[in-house]
Amino acid sequence: MELKERKQIALLVGSLRKESLNRKMARVLIDLAPDIMDLEIVEIGNLPLYNEDLEENTPREWTAFRKKIKEFDGIIFITPEYNRSTTAAMKNAIDVGSRPYKQNVWSNKPSAVISVSMGAVGGFGANHHLRQSLVCLNAPVMAQPEMYIGGAADLFDSKGNLTDSRMEELIHKFFRSYGRWLCKFVE
């Protein structure tokens, strides 16, 4: 099964640093994406912390974020691991998008999780913790290939270019699988 039409894919990067390894990986994904997919980083660092009381006078950043996510056919979450979990910024973005009740923008959006870490385990804990939240939100998460990218500090040159051909092959494999995953949910 192959995609027949271009698909718009949001990239949510859990690290807010401009030069984070996760942001570098997001840029690599944009460069290596198949022609049938348009990838775009959707910024999450400007979202006020979720507080249901604010729904009475919804912050414009929340409204813009929710509207933007609705435009995408799928979502790729790229997260570092902080204390065996994803980041506060990523969790906040998930919470903002899942509210108000019955207006969950994540529902039925075919998703994938990539964890990127300097450590050897590759953010395994963050990856699975994030998957747990997405299942609760009815965001179908691709099971394979699991993407735990460890030793990430050695994958990029000083300009953020990927220097590891094996990682490039893995990313191409990821996109082939993600393309098949998208086919199950979007026309």
pLDDT digit of tens for each residue in the chain (187 aa)?
688 899 999 999 999 998 899 999 999 999 999 999 999 999 999 999 999 999 999 999 999 999 999 999 999 999 999 999 999 999 999 999 999 989 999 999 999 999 999 988 889 999 999 999 999 999 999 999 999 999 999 999 999 999 999 999 999 999 999 999 999 998 7
What whole-number distance in Å separates Cα of residue 19 and Cα of residue 182? 29
C-alpha span between 83 and 74 (Å, rounded): 27
Q: At what angle do helices 88-98 and 60-70 cross, to 10 degrees?
A: 80
Q: What does the alpha-carbon distance between residue 178 and residue 162 come to, in Å, rounded to a whole number?
A: 20
In sequence order, which ranges of 99-186 are alpha helices (DSSP H)? 124-136, 165-183
Q: Would you tell me how many other CB atoms lie within 10 Å of the CB of residue 28?
A: 18
- How far apart CA 59 and CA 21 sit, in angstroms, is 30
By residue count, the chain amounts to 187
- Residue 120 has a pLDDT of 85
Domains of the chain from N-terminus onward: 7-183 (3.40.50.360)
How confident is the model at residue 146, as a pLDDT?
A: 92
Angstrom distance (rounded) from CA 42 to CA 65: 8
- The CA–CA distances, whole Å, from 68 to 45, 64, 84, 133 equal 15, 6, 29, 20
One-letter amino acid of 186: V
